[in-house]
Chains A and B, each alone.
Chain A
Amino acid sequence: MKMLPFFVIIPLGSAFLISLLGKKIKKSPDILANLGALGLLALSFYSIGLVSVHKVLVYKVGGWMPPIGICMVMDGLTSFMLVTVNLVSFLVTLYSVNYMERYSDKYRFYTLFMLMLAGMNGIIITGDLFNLFVFLEIASIASYALVAFGTEAEELEASFKYAVMGSVASSFILLGIALLYSYTSTLNMADIYLVLSQKGTGIIVNFIAILFLAGFGLKAALVPFHGWLADAHSSAPAPISAMLSGVFIKTLGIYALCRIFFNILGASARVFSVLLILGVISMVVGAFLAIAQRDIKRMFAYSSISQIGYIVFALGIGTPLAILGGLFHLFNHAVFKSLLFLNSGAIEYSTGTRDLKNLGGLNSRLPVTGFTSLLGSMSIAGIPPLGGFWSKLIIIIAAVQAGYLGTAVVAILVSIVTLAYYLKFLSFAFFGKLDAAWQKINPVRNTNFCEERNKISNGVKEVPGLMQFAMLVLAIICSVSGLLIAPLCKDFLPSAVNVLLLGKGYAQTVFTALK
């Protein structure tokens, strides 16, 4: 129970230390950031065991009793999200050690990265609605700055767009929280549920639900609100794209939506149908926007919109099997989408371009990147033994069982479109003949950085060992993640599903744990 605040303390503390020491001691940012992320990963794995024994853990911040004070709550869903976020963030920090050499001021990068991580862990673990808003803003502000990290014209433009959309979304969320406070006179999530069940839900609660849907929908980039995502995610440095697409939009968007709609407001059939429709639209629009792209990262970014659509669609169906499929797909998508963004970073690191037209035949020169991209792409497209297949299969079976035959067919068709554009990526980038440009020095096309390195090494070479290691680990996880639905792992995924299915029981379990 004492360990709960450490999910916020570790990243905040390492951000502070990195900014303090980073400029003076050369290697300290790398070491501190990696140690911090490793510690968080170990703690999150430990938390799975704790949750399987105690079900719910509550930490009272400052010793104040919850409806008055702030509390931190750890249940199945929390530990599931913590493992997902910290697993991806640890591998991304490993990857950044070499990748971020091309930017100056690496210690600033790690400081912002750790702040973002503190925000995300805080959102997941908090049990207080306003506290959630504060952590959400910490994570968002760090991510606006990280998108603009390269300070080139395109990056600044993307960051401005993202910051404006993000601030409007935050205002909607704050307005929703204010209205909810005025209606229930409390900010504690469990207590809000109790008050709402006594007072009954009227038109005001529906209005609050719409505000939250707009706010968190903007953060999750569901389709009517998706405009910023492709620019922001493709302009950021590759490790940040991996974090943003892999876990950021899921923590700020999907997790917060789940927590509020399932455990606090109590999901009504109308909310479910709205989520279902938004999910299907995102799925289709994202896939068709992705297929037309020539920039690798832009293609992956639109693909994220489409895959988020799958998750929201599954949550909108709302049966136990569908929620299992949705959360399972959330984990899978976090793994393979961050893998694919790291691959795109490796391609950019080696060749200096992300344009599919200029690439080709890289498989002979970048074997590890090529192999891991193959696994990641096939997993996201849903090829049988890999993780992505199982989660999509569960979602589609759940849709058929619940009677949504038409949308199940749409989901299958979108899956085929997904396969099409990932095959396009693979064939343009890795298969075929090696472009003459990459066999020897090409000063015209390469950026300065790659130009210098290619002069020494005479042609394109595989990326450094730590980057390869991070990509390989993610590739292994995404090829065996199908095992998560095996009975052996029942403490991980099913316990997260149970929290959402429990719905109304959340408040009772929290208050029981307090006594």
Chain B
Amino acid sequence: MSAYILCLLLFCIGIYCVLRKRNIIKIIVGLGIIEYAVNLFLVLIGYRSHGRAPILAKDQQILNMVDPIPQALVLTAIVIGLAVTALIVAIAIRIYEKYGTFDITQIRRLKG
């Protein structure tokens, strides 16, 4: 149970980071934390205590195995997260070239 609570805490830290930080790099780090919290949660769902890998060999019986589907999902989610992070970092670099700052309070040409 405590694992789930810590996972939720990690998620909340990420949300706080995205909402409260002024530096866009820190916001990107916050997005990363949120994403890892969700991935961790997915892995925790599949975990069984003292479970083993779900690979069936000859003359074996698996009594207690971890759920393989969340692990497959997490792999996909990590790849997607990588793509998003790479894109956002690229945009952040271009923003720095244009505005000369990472401070979101000074990146305000759009309004209304």
Interface on A for B, CB 8 Å cutoff? Answer: 130, 134, 137, 140-141, 144-145, 148, 151-154, 156-160, 163-164, 167-168, 170-171, 174-175, 178, 181-182, 187, 230-231, 235, 292-293, 295, 298
Contacts and interface: CB of A to CB of B under 8 A. Distances in A.
Interface string B1-21: 000000000010001001000
A160 B98 CA distance: 13
Contacts of B109: 153-154, 157
A237 B9 CA distance: 40
Nearest to B84: A167
Interface string B75-98: 011001001100110011011001
19 contacts: A130-B76, A134-B80, A148-B94, A151-B94, A153-B95, A154-B109, A156-B94, A157-B99, A160-B24, A160-B91, A163-B88, A164-B18, A167-B88, A168-B15, A178-B41, A178-B42, A181-B45, A182-B45, A295-B112
Given A137-B84, A160-B91, A153 B99 contact: yes
A15 to B, nearest CB: 15
Contacts of B92: 160
A293 B111 CA distance: 10
B41 A167 contact: no
A160 B15 CA distance: 16
A163 B108 CA distance: 16
B38 interface: yes
A156 B95 contact: yes
Interface of B: 11, 15, 18, 24, 27, 31, 34-35, 38, 41-42, 45, 69-70, 73, 76-77, 80, 83-84, 87-88, 91-92, 94-95, 98-99, 107-110, 112
B20 to A, nearest CB: 13
Given A151-B94, A160-B95, A181 B84 contact: no
A164 B35 contact: no
Nearest to A173: B38
B92 to A, nearest CB: 7
Nearest to A131: B76
Contacts of A171: 34-35, 38
A156 B91 contact: yes
Q: How would you classify the secondary structure of chain A's contact residues: helix, strand, loop or mixed? A: helix
A175 B34 CA distance: 10
A153 B41 CA distance: 37
B50 to A, nearest CB: 19
B110 A154 contact: yes
Contacts of B98: 152-153, 156
Nearest to B94: A156
A466 to B, nearest CB: 31
B10 to A, nearest CB: 12
B66 to A, nearest CB: 13
B112 A167 contact: no
A298 B35 contact: no
A175 B41 contact: yes
B94 to A, nearest CB: 5
A231 B38 contact: no
B110 A157 contact: yes
Given A148-B91, A157-B110, A298-B112, A178 B45 contact: yes
Point out which of B15, B27, B69 has the most chain A C-beta atoms below 10 A from its C-beta: B69
B45 A159 contact: no
Of all A-B residue pairs in the complex, the 3 with the closest CB atoms, nearest first, are A153-B98, A182-B45, A137-B80
B38 A181 contact: no
B27 A157 contact: no
A174 B94 contact: no
A134 B76 contact: yes
B38 A163 contact: no
Nearest to A130: B73
Contact of B69 (A137, A140, A181, A235): A181
Contact of B110 (A148, A151, A235): A235
A163 B11 CA distance: 18
B77 A174 contact: yes
A157 B70 contact: no
B44 to A, nearest CB: 9
Nearest to A136: B80
Contacts of A140: 84
B83 A141 contact: yes
A233 B34 CA distance: 26
A163 B107 CA distance: 15
B45 A163 contact: no
Contacts of A163: 84, 87-88, 91
B110 A181 contact: no
B110 A164 contact: no
B69 A178 contact: no
A230 B112 contact: yes
Contact of B27 (A153, A164, A235): A164
B40 to A, nearest CB: 10
